Structure 1
Amino acid sequence: MMAKLNPVHGIALAILAAPLVAGCAPAGDAGPGAAALTPKQAETLDKQLAGKVPGKPEKCLPSFRTTDTIRVSDNILLYRASGNLVYRNDLKGSCPGLARDSDIMVIRQFGSSTCSGDFFHLVDRSSGIRGPTCVLGEFVPYRKPAGDEG
C-alpha cells in the first residue's frame, strides 16, 4: 500500500531538500582557470607553484606524501609534499565555503590513499553543522626542474 503525500508536506520537503541538492550540484567546469580567482587567491596559487612545472595527473595520492593542505579557492586545493613538490587538485565542481578556510574538511578515505572521486565535506567549526559534500579531482604534481635549487 502506498501512502499519499500531503501537499503541505511535499512543499516542506522541497524547501528542506533544496539546500542539500544545491550543495551537491557542480557550479560550472572545475578545470584550471574555470572559476575566476580573486587577486589574493591568484597570488597564493602563483606563490605555491612558482618555478614548478606540471607533470602527468595522478589518480591517487598516498596520505604520507603530503605535509600541508592549502585551500586556494572553492575549486582548487594544493597538497604540499615538500618545497620542491606540490600537488594541485581541481575539484569536480565547486565546494561552496572551502576558500574561507574556517570549516573543517572531513575526507572519506578508503585505504592509505586519497583518490580522485573521493568525497569530503565541510563541518562548521563553531556549530558542528555539516556543510556541502565535495568531490576531489585528479592530482597534478608540480615539481621544480632537476638541478633547480631556487
Structure 2
Amino acid sequence: MRAAPILLIAATMLAGCAEQPPATRSAQAEAKYQQLLAGRAAGSPVSCLPHYQSDDMVTIDNSTVAFKSGATVYVNHLIGECQGLTSGFYTLVTRSTGSGLCHGDIADVRDVRTGMIIGACAMGDFVPYKRS
C-alpha cells in the first residue's frame, strides 16, 4: 500500500524532467521558419555541427536558431529560452567545448551595444534540412 504513493511521486518527478516542446511561435516567426525550410525535408538529428560560420546563423525566435551550411539548413531548438534574441539589440554568442558546436554547449545572449551578457541557454540537437 505504501509503494503506490511513492511510485506516483516518482512518476510525477520524472514527467517534470521530460523535454518540453518549444513555445508557440508568433505568426511572423512561424512565417520566417516556414520560408527558411520551404522545399526541404528533415533528416536525423545530429549532436554536433563541426563547421559553421556565425554569420550563417538565423534567429527564428527566442527558442530556435538555424545555421546555413551550403545547401543544408540545421535547425536547433535551444535548451531553455534565450530571452531577447528577436529584439535586434541582442545576439547569441556560443562557447563550444570542442571542435564545432555541439549539444549542450552554452550560448550567451549579449547586448550588441555594450557587450554585456544578459542571459544564457544551451544548444540542443541539430536537425538537418535538405532540399527534397
Fold agreement, TM-score > 0.5: yes
SS in 1 for 2:61: coil
1:67/1:80 contact within 8 Å kept: no
- Long gaps (5+) in structure 2: 1-18
Largest Rg, 1 or 2: 1
- Long gaps (5+) in structure 1: 1-27, 146-150
1:106 counterpart residue number: 93
Moved over 6 A (4+): none
SS in 2 for 1:63: coil
Within-5 A mapping of 1:71-110: 71-82=59-70, 84-110=71-97
**Taking structure 1 as the reference length, what is the TM-score of the superposition?**
0.69
Aligned alpha-carbon RMSD (Å): 1.9
1:20 counterpart residue number: none
Within-5 A mapping of 1:29-44: 29=20, 31=21, 34-44=22-32
Q: Which structure has the highest strand share of the two?
A: 2
Percentage identity across paired residues of the two chains: 29
Q: Does 1:60 align with 2:48?
A: yes
Correspondent of 2:123 among 114, 133, 136: 136
| Structure-2 separation of matches of 1:142 and 1:132 | 28
**Taking structure 2 as the reference length, what is the TM-score of the superposition?**
0.78
How many residues of Structure 1 are paired with residues of Structure 2 in the alignment?
Answer: 114
Amino acid at match of 1:76: T
